[in-house]
């Protein structure tokens, strides 16, 4: 008997029988090439099918030329996509897993940058993100929209999909019509809910008639837009009931938020508690007879199994969980759930890269986004590999090398593995970040890496040992800013988090990194009762938190904790006291702050002593991660993996 | 002088106008595409003298933006461009952006002289060791050989806006203790020598930052004057750019035309080769006088030729070129979204392969309702195609909303575009009726075809419309500029009112003002200007209501409310289409379809005209 009896039990969804309840729900990947699905798409979905997902729903396929909000969108309306569709569906069906295509028109949540055409929406109300006034659809254009969905459904049938899902939530024309915030029409498509939902039902009817009975049709609805005057759960349940009543739809998928206003709740980071969106499927499930999918921060099979057991949903969307580990289901089924590379909900390389028009990756899985790039065959000759440093770079190098058949020893000078990760994760709201090295440490043990803790490697020792290859991953050390002098109360973030300094009273945090370092320490110190101000030379404190969707929660928490924020300032000098002089660079004026402590979130220095001593040795020496240049964790993982593959 | 030929070393350029290297996003992978060829062909056909192709990275450790050309992949593209562009001199721009690059595409560490993070990306680079320096220098040599083998007249080495060579020259980014640190120009000299060895009798040109605008440690004009005479190059383009210089390299219209003129003249005085004046030179008058004064030998007119591909040809025949208005809205495409290079006044730029040109053969009468940019462009292209065209405009003057927009601070040049359109319409015999508000009844009795270009109106907020505020219709007292859009309008209104001596503050829901201006390069600058003018920025705030001299603002995150003085609120929010005359099936263009920017107005005005002509 499985440990996850609910999650791993089969379910009929319309004409399909799913082997389990885990859905790889729709998400952008930016893998499309010139509007067409790529080989990478096929390899990406196939990896999740091979890993046992119950159902795969692809990213959105645009249903009309007027819809082109970002560069790498699949132009579903172009018949040239069909061979690419076929490549995807064949690759996924080879593993016996059904796959649906998500159909969408983003409506007013778009710009004309790529289409060079007016953006279409129910009413001329500019989207909060794109800020382009759309053209209010005329009736003949609404017919074009409906025809577009039917056309793309035809392409999907021709391309071998088992059905389609209609995107009617976070970024879609249908959402725009459903929502009173964006639909102020006075004709048959505006006003009462029946009218606002008319487009949805016209599309359902048109698409169903293309699909016939042997293919599945799903509808993804937003349960709460989290915007002023937007759709709330009562209306969402009412729409769900109407959808069910058509008897043409096989399941309802759910979501929360609007992609261009409240994205941070759709793809919630670790700052948002797990299960936060389950009130939506719970409410809808009580009102309908068809299966309902619940989604949002499901990271392990236990949690998903419980949600089904509790009747919150029939199926669980595990998106980032399977981006991070394609074998999520296989590992759960085979009783090795502890081996799942749990998603951190860090949003750094999945969500974070999407907003920047880059291909989807994952901070802890160097293969995500690179599935179509075949790795060289592991070497026949096992080498004796020495890895120095047990942070993410060293761990990833050791794990990959061992997986590829090498004999690996890892030396770590501290008494624990993880490098700076446990330090970063020691702040309460960042605890899940620890999983990156916890997962890697577990993997290292599994694949037989010989880990030696509290072992500070020396150049002499390594030279004497003369391994077949050395990978240096010695990390970085805090660097003191030039203006800090030898003031003892000017310390680094790491001094605080590693317990070497305990600031009290008034604290100024200097943020030159624009990421979690400054905001984490600010929160921690505010929680300890300090009066905290964060100062940055940038225009915004924690600027890159915008990329990981943490800026909203940071600002709310900063306000609640009384943390002040000061922008556009550069430290000029610090004197005992401590009085810090800051230059406001836009105006060239100086201001001062007198505080008890200054905590610096500034660039670190590469710890490259071993590299300098060993480069040019008779055995090959590689370096990876922060000891090359101190950066973020994804760079460490990618470089560790790359160096090990190249051995 | 501008249109006359000029000899550089062994080659002769057909004119003294240079088309400089710039990001286009026209590439296919990291190669130059057919779209590049078509783009450059038009400028060469238009009389461009020296055409410098989009900068190619000399080594794959550099991948600064997704479609950045890689020299190793550029051979066929360079060949095709050279073939398409005779007699213009085609130079291959070669570069490496070093610490100003991006690791997002290569997923490799950035290379730089020292461990100094870029001020914008905040990414710490890897310190280049001897191995990397050797690879880099060799990369320039290999790339230069390929460029010559592909038929280029030579190469231009990039040591300007984003360049590892500039980073080596600068004390801000080069803190090395080795020879490359004590002699900061060493790497540049080695690279020039490598290129020289590769090009044979071809040209080695250099684009050099002669002022990083950071005198405490950066390259200063004094440094440049010492350096330039020691460099063995055939052509030198003088620019200003540096790690803290932001938009200074190619600013928008807030900076005057030809801002580098004095710097360039001082460099010219010590240079051993011809010198190119770069920097917002957009008019024939400015270019010609700069040449006549002798402070330069050629003039870079890049944006001028994006806006008017046939610039030199038109000047030769005495025709009026379409003006570049230095808005940076269509042509500055260094943006992760990969927009295609284009121009608000000439939207075919960058789309040469897909956008049709007007063809003669139209006949019959067309009435264009509205004389803003959409109506004017539509009328112009209709007239070019042989239609007999009449514009009826409600105002007493042509130009529409652009005339008001041009009243904003730093936006005066916009007027030149509608003035040009109006003059072209006049030249082409378009009949213009001013002060005439067209009514529906009039249209139903009109026998010819009708195009609506009636623009937009203010939404009903009860506040003062931005257009009225720009025209100076504003009661006394403190002003609150409400800018939910974050485009150029709100900022320009606030700046103008502040300059007029009004007490002004600006409110936005965003953490900074002018969010959409990242594309034009004015984002940081506009926030700086507002702060210098003492305009309080009410950030992360929603305007809830205003009455009795105060406005209530609400923090977007916390919901906390506060009041600020506001006798007047100026609304710079999105507008509504004017649809009074519209009936299903009618032709229309621009803001009356959906209120957007000049680019869409011109694009749609032209499209409608071409459709009628087809
Ligand atoms: C990078 C990314 C892109 C997404 N894009 C879409 C999308 O285009 N359409 C959609 O319906 N959902 C999209 N989603 C939302 C997911 O389907 C899912 O609801 C969300 O990620 C929460 O699930 P998770 O916590 O398991 O990741 C996206 C999610 C991610 C991570
Ligand atoms: S990048 Fe972070 S949030 Fe995204 S899938 Fe990987 S671990 Fe999860």
> What whole-number distance in Å separates Cα of residue A403 and Cα of residue A407?
9
Instruction: For chain B, give the percent of residues with pLDDT over 90.
Output: 97
Residues 6+ apart with CB under 8 A from B226: none
Judge whether residue B601 has pLDDT over 90.
yes
CA–CA distances in Å: residue A119 to residues A114, A123, A131, A239, B273: 11, 11, 11, 25, 51
**Residue B415 backbone phi and psi in degrees, to 5:** -60, -30
Judge whether residue A1 has pLDDT over 60.
no
Chain centroid to CA A379: 33
Q: A477: which strand partners?
A: A605
- Gap from CA of A363 to ligand 2 centroid (Å): 6
Nearest atom of ligand 2 to the alpha carbon of A349: 1
Which pLDDT band holds residue B135 (cuts at 50, 70, 90)?
A: very high
Per-residue pLDDT tens over the stretch B79-118: 999 999 999 999 999 999 999 999 999 999 999 999 999 9
Cis peptide before B127 (omega within 30 of 0): no
User: In this structure, are residues B49 and B89 in contact, taking their beta carbons and an 8 Å threshold?
Assistant: yes
Closest CA to B402 of B415, B416, B392, B412: B415
Q: Span B12-38, mean pLDDT?
A: 98
- From A28, A104, A325, the mutation candidate for ligand 1 (largest count of ligand atoms within 8 A of CB) is A28
Cβ(A406) to ligand 1 under 6 A? Answer: no
Q: What is the pLDDT of residue A379?
A: 72
SS3 assignment, position B517: helix
**Residue B182 backbone phi and psi in degrees, to 5:** -75, -35
Across the interface, do A357 and B532 touch by the CB < 8 Å criterion?
Answer: no
- Per residue, what are the HEC states of A95-148? CCCCEEEEEECCCCCCCCCCCCCCCEECCCCCCCCCCCCCEECCHHHHHHHHHH
Q: Span A75-94, mean pLDDT?
A: 98
**Residue B12 backbone phi and psi in degrees, to 5:** -125, 125
Complex-level ipTM: 0.95
> What whole-number distance in Å separates Cα of residue B256 and Cα of residue B326?
10
**Residue A33 backbone phi and psi in degrees, to 5:** -120, 115
The structure tokens 């709740």 sit at A265
* Number of C-beta neighbours around residue A132 at 10 A: 25
Residues 6+ apart with CB under 8 A from A396: A366, A440, A636, A637, A640, A641, A644
Per-residue pLDDT tens over the stretch A533-584: 999 999 999 999 999 999 999 999 999 999 999 999 999 999 998 999 999 9
Cis peptide before B330 (omega within 30 of 0): no
- Gap from CA of A324 to ligand 2 centroid (Å): 6
Which chain B residues are within 8 Å of A113, Cβ to Cβ? Answer: 337, 339
Strands A135-136 and A120-121: parallel
User: In this structure, are residues A519 and A532 in contact, taking their beta carbons and an 8 Å threshold?
Assistant: no
Structure tokens at B103: 């690791």
Residues 6+ apart with CB under 8 A from B110: A629, B98, B99, B101, B102, B103, B118, B123, B125, B126
CATH topology agreement for domains B365-457+578-613 and B464-571: no
Judge whether residue A377 has pLDDT over 90.
no
Domain ranges of chain B: 6-317, 365-457+578-613, 464-571
Q: Span B241-267, mean pLDDT?
A: 96
> What whole-number distance in Å separates Cα of residue A572 and Cα of residue A538?
15
Note the ligand closest to the C-alpha atom of A324. Answer: 2
Per-residue pLDDT tens over the stretch A406-428: 999 999 999 999 999 999 999 98
**Residue A616 backbone phi and psi in degrees, to 5:** 85, 5
Per-residue pLDDT tens over the stretch B257-301: 999 999 999 999 999 999 999 999 999 999 999 999 999 999 999
Q: Span B56-76, mean pLDDT?
A: 98
Which chain B residues are within 8 Å of A519, Cβ to Cβ? Answer: none
Asked if A552 is an interface residue toward chain B (Cβ–Cβ < 8 A), one would say yes
- From A106, A319, A329, A343, the mutation candidate for ligand 1 (largest count of ligand atoms within 8 A of CB) is A319
Nearest atom of ligand 1 to the alpha carbon of A299: 26
- Per residue, what are the HEC states of B470-487? HCCCCCCCCEEEECCCCC
SS3 assignment, position A335: coil
* Number of C-beta neighbours around residue B580 at 10 A: 12
Per-residue pLDDT tens over the stretch A306-351: 999 999 999 999 999 999 999 999 999 999 999 999 999 999 999 9
- Per residue, what are the HEC states of A608-641? CHHHHHHCCCCCCEEECHHHCCCCCHHHHHHHHH
Buried b (16+ CB within 10 A) or exposed e, A86-95: bbbbebbbeb
**Beta-carbon-side half-sphere exposure of residue A152 (alpha carbons within 13 Å):** 27
**Beta-carbon-side half-sphere exposure of residue A346 (alpha carbons within 13 Å):** 28
The CA-to-CA distance between both ends of chain B, in Å, stands at: 40
Structure tokens at B494: 């606030």
Per-residue pLDDT tens over the stretch A592-613: 999 999 999 999 999 999 999 9
Candidates B66, B67, B106, B337: best to mutate against A (most CBs of A within 10 A) is B337
Q: What is the pLDDT of residue B399?
A: 98
The nearest alpha carbon in chain A to B329 belongs to: A113
**Residue B390 backbone phi and psi in degrees, to 5:** -130, 135
SS3 assignment, position B188: helix
Residues 6+ apart with CB under 8 A from B474: B464, B468, B497, B502, B568, B570
- From A359, A364, A369, A436, the mutation candidate for ligand 2 (largest count of ligand atoms within 8 A of CB) is A364
Contacts 24+ apart (CB under 8 A), A445-449: A446/A339, A447/A399, A447/A402, A447/A403, A448/A402, A448/A408, A449/A387, A449/A398, A449/A399, A449/A402, A449/A408, A449/A409, A449/A410
- Gap from CA of A350 to ligand 2 centroid (Å): 6
CATH class of domain segment(s) B6-317: alpha beta
Query: For the domain bounded by B365-457+578-613, which CATH number is listed?
Result: 3.40.50.720
Which pLDDT band holds residue B246 (cuts at 50, 70, 90)?
A: confident
Strands B275-277 and B298-300: parallel
CA dihedral over B138, B143, B144, B149, signed as positive or negative = positive
**Beta-carbon-side half-sphere exposure of residue B426 (alpha carbons within 13 Å):** 8
- Gap from CA of A269 to ligand 2 centroid (Å): 9
> What whole-number distance in Å separates Cα of residue A163 and Cα of residue A101?
7
SS3 assignment, position B555: strand
Q: What is the pLDDT of residue B599?
A: 98
> What whole-number distance in Å separates Cα of residue A144 and Cα of residue A114?
20
- Please provide the DSSP assignment of A263-301 as one string: HHHHT--TTSPTTTTTHHHHHHHHH-SS-EEEESS--SH
The structure tokens 């003006």 sit at B323
What does the mean pLDDT of chain A come to? 97
Q: What is the pLDDT of residue A380?
A: 74
> What whole-number distance in Å separates Cα of residue B261 and Cα of residue B296?
8
Sheet containing strand B464-465, strands side by side: B464-465, B568-571, B479-482, B504-507, B537-538
Note the ligand closest to the C-alpha atom of A270. Answer: 2
User: In this structure, are residues A591 and A582 in contact, taking their beta carbons and an 8 Å threshold?
Assistant: yes
A-B C-beta contacts closer than 8 Å: 121
- Gap from CA of A237 to ligand 1 centroid (Å): 21
Per-residue pLDDT tens over the stretch B297-353: 999 999 999 999 999 999 999 999 999 999 999 999 999 999 999 999 999 999 999
Q: What is the pLDDT of residue B473?
A: 80
User: In this structure, are residues B79 and B151 in contact, taking their beta carbons and an 8 Å threshold?
Assistant: yes
Sheet containing strand A469-472, strands side by side: A450-452, A407-411, A384-388, A469-472, A621-623
Helix (H) or strand (E) holding A519: helix A516-527
Nearest CB partner across the interface for A131, out of B336, B485, B558:
B485
Catalogue all structural domains in chain A, each as residue range(s) with its CATH number: 20-355 (3.20.20.70), 384-476+606-645 (3.40.50.720), 482-601 (3.50.50.60)
User: In this structure, are residues B6 and B15 in contact, taking their beta carbons and an 8 Å threshold?
Assistant: yes
The nearest alpha carbon in chain B to A70 belongs to: B337
Per-residue pLDDT tens over the stretch B150-205: 999 999 999 999 999 999 999 999 999 999 999 999 999 999 999 999 999 999 99
Return the CATH superfamily for domain B464-571: FAD/NAD(P)-binding domain (3.50.50.60)
The structure tokens 């349940």 sit at A237
Structure tokens at B45: 């056909």
Across the interface, do B594 and A119 touch by the CB < 8 Å criterion?
Answer: yes
Judge whether residue B398 has pLDDT over 80.
yes
> What whole-number distance in Å separates Cα of residue A507 and Cα of residue B132?
42
The structure tokens 């579903």 sit at A76
Q: How far off is chain B from A540, nearest CA to CA, in Å? A: 7
């Amino acid at each position: 008997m499985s440990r996850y009896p609910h999650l791993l039990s089969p379910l009929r969804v319309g004409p399909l029988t799913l082997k389990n309840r885990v859905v790889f729900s729709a998400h952008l990947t930016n893998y499309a090439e010139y509007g067409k699905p790529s080989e990478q798409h096929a390899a990406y979905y196939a990896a999740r099918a091979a890993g046992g997902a119950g159902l795969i729903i692809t990213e959105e396929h645009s249903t009309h030329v007027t819809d082109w909000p970002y560069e790498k969108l699949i132009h579903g309306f172009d018949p040239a996509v069909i061979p690419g569709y076929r490549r995807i569906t064949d690759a996924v069906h080879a593993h016996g897993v059904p796959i649906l295509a998500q159909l969408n028109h983003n409506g007013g949540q778009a710009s004309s940058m790529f289409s060079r055409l007016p953006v279409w929406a129910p009413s001329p109300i500019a989207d909060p993100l794109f800020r382009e006034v759309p053209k209010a659809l005329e009736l003949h254009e609404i017919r074009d929209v409906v025809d577009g969905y039917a056309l793309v459904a035809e392409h999907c049938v021709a391309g071998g999909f088992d059905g389609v899902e209609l995107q009617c939530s976070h970024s879609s024309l249908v959402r725009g019509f459903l929502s009173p915030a964006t639909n102020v029409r006075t004709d048959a498509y505006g006003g009462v809910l029946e009218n606002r939902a008319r487009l949805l039902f016209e599309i359902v009817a048109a698409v169903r008639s293309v699909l016939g009975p042997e293919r599945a049709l799903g509808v993804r609805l937003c349960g709460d837009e989290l915007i002023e005057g937007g759709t709330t759960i009562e209306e969402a349940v009412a729409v769900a009931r109407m959808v069910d009543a058509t008897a043409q739809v096989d399941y309802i998928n759910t979501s929360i938020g609007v992609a261009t206003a409240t994205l941070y709740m759709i793809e919630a980071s670790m700052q948002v508690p797990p299960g936060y969106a389950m009130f939506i499927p719970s409410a809808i499930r009580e009102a309908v007879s068809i299966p309902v999918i619940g989604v949002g921060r499901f990271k392990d099979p236990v949690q998903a199994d419980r949600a089904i057991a509790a009747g919150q949903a029939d199926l669980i969307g595990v998106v980032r969980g399977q981006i991070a580990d394609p074998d999520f289901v296989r590992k759960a089924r085979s009783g090795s759930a502890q081996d799942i590379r749990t998603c951190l909900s860090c949003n750094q390389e999945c969500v974070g890269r999407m907003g920047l028009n880059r291909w989807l990756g994952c901070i802890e899985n160097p293969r995500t986004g690179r599935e179509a790039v075949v790795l060289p065959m592991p070497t026949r000759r096992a080498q004796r590999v020495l890895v120095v440093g047990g942070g993410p770079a060293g761990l990833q190098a050791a794990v990959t090398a061992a997986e590829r058949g090498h004999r690996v020893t890892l030396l770590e000078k501290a008494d624990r593995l993880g490098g700076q990760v446990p330090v970063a994760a020691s702040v309460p709201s960042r605890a899940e970040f620890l999983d990156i090295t916890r997962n890697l440490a577990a993997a290292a043990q599994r694949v037989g890496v010989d880990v030696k803790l509290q072992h500070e490697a020396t150049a002499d020792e390594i030279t004497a040992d003369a391994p077949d290859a050395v990978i240096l991953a010695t990390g970085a050390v805090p660097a003191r800013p030039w203006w800090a002098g030898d003031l003892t109360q000017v310390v680094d973030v790491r001094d605080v988090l590693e317990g070497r300094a305990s600031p009290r009273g008034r604290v100024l945090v200097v943020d030159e990194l624009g990421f979690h370092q400054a905001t984490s320490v600010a929160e921690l110190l505010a929680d300890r009762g300090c009066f905290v101000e964060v100062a940055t030379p940038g225009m915004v404190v924690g600027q890159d938190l915008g990329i990981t969707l943490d800026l909203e929660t940071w600002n709310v928490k900063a306000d609640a904790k009384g943390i002040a924020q000061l922008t556009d300032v550069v430290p000029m000098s610090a004197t005992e006291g401590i009085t810090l002089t800051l230059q406001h660079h836009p105006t060239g004026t100086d201001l001062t702050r007198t505080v008890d402590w200054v905590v610096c979130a500034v660039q670190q220095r590469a710890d490259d002593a071993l590299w300098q001593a060993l480069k040019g040795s008779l055995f090959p020496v590689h370096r990876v991660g922060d000891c090359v240049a101190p950066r973020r964790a994804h760079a460490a993982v990618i470089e560790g993996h790359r160096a090990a593959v190249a051995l | 002088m501008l249109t006359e030929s000029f000899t550089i070393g062994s080659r002769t350029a057909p004119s003294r106008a240079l088309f400089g290297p710039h990001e286009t996003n026209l590439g296919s992978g990291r190669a130059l595409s057919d779209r590049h060829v078509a783009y450059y062909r038009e400028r060469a056909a238009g009389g461009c003298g020296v055409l410098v192709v989009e900068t190619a990275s000399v080594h794959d450790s550099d991948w600064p933006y997704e479609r950045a050309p890689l020299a190793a992949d550029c051979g066929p593209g360079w060949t095709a461009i050279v073939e398409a562009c005779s007699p213009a001199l085609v130079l291959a721009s070669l570069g490496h952006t070093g610490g100003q690059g991006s690791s997002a595409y290569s997923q490799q560490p950035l290379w730089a002289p020292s461990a100094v993070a870029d001020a914008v990306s905040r990414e710490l680079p890897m310190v280049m060791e001897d191995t990397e320096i050797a690879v880099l220098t060799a990369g320039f040599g290999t790339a230069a050989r390929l460029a010559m083998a592909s038929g280029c007249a030579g190469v231009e080495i990039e040591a300007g806006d984003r360049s590892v060579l500039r980073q080596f020259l600068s004390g801000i980014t080069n803190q090395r203790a080795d020879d490359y640190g004590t002699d900061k120009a060493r790497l540049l000299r080695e690279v020039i020598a490598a290129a020289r060895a590769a090009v044979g009798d071809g040209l080695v040109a250099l684009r050099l930052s002669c002022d990083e605008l950071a005198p405490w440690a950066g390259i200063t004009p004094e440094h440049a004057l010492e350096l330039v005479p020691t460099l063995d190059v055939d052509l030198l383009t003088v620019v200003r750019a540096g790690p803290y210089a932001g938009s200074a390299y190619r600013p928008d219209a807030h900076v005057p035309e030809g801002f580098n003129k004095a710097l360039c003249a001082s460099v010219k005085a010590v240079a051993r080769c011809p010198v190119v004046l770069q920097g917002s030179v957009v008019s024939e008058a400015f270019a010609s006088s700069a040449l006549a004064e002798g402070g330069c030998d050629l003039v870079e007119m890049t944006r001028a030729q994006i806006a008017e591909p046939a610039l030199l040809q038109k000047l030769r025949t005495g025709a009026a070129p379409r003006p570049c208005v230095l808005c940076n809205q269509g042509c500055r495409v260094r943006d992760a979204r990969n927009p295609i290079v284009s121009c608000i006044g000439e939207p075919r730029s960058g789309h040469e392969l897909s956008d049709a040109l007007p063809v003669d053969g139209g006949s019959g009468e067309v009435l264009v309702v509205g004389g803003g940019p959409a109506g004017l462009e539509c009328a112009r292209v209709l007239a070019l195609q042989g239609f007999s065209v009449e514009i009826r405009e409600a105002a007493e003057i042509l130009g529409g909303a652009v005339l008001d927009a041009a009243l904003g601070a730093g936006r005066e040049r916009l007027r030149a575009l509608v003035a040009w359109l109006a003059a072209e319409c006049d030249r082409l015999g378009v009949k213009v009726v001013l002060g005439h508000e067209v009514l529906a009844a009039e249209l139903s009795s009109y026998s010819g075809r009708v195009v609506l270009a009636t623009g937009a109106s203010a939404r009903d907020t009860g506040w003062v419309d931005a257009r009225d505020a720009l025209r100076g219709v504003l009661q006394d007292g403190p002003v609150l500029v409400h800018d939910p859009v974050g485009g150029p309008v709100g900022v320009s209104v606030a700046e103008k009112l502040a300059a007029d001596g009004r007490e002004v503050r600006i409110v936005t829901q965003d953490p900074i003002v002018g969010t959409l201006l990242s594309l034009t390069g004015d984002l940081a600058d506009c926030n700086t200007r507002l702060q210098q003018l003492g305009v309080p920025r009410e950030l992360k705030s929603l305007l809830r209501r205003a009455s009795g001299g105060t406005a209530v603002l609400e923090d977007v995150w916390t919901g906390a409310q506060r009041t600020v003085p506001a006798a007047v609120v100026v609304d710079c929010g999105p507008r509504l289409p004017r649809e009074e005359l519209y009936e299903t099936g009618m032709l229309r263009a621009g803001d009356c379809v959906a209120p957007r920017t000049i680019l869409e107005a011109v694009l749609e005005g032209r499209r409608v005209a071409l459709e009628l002509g087809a």
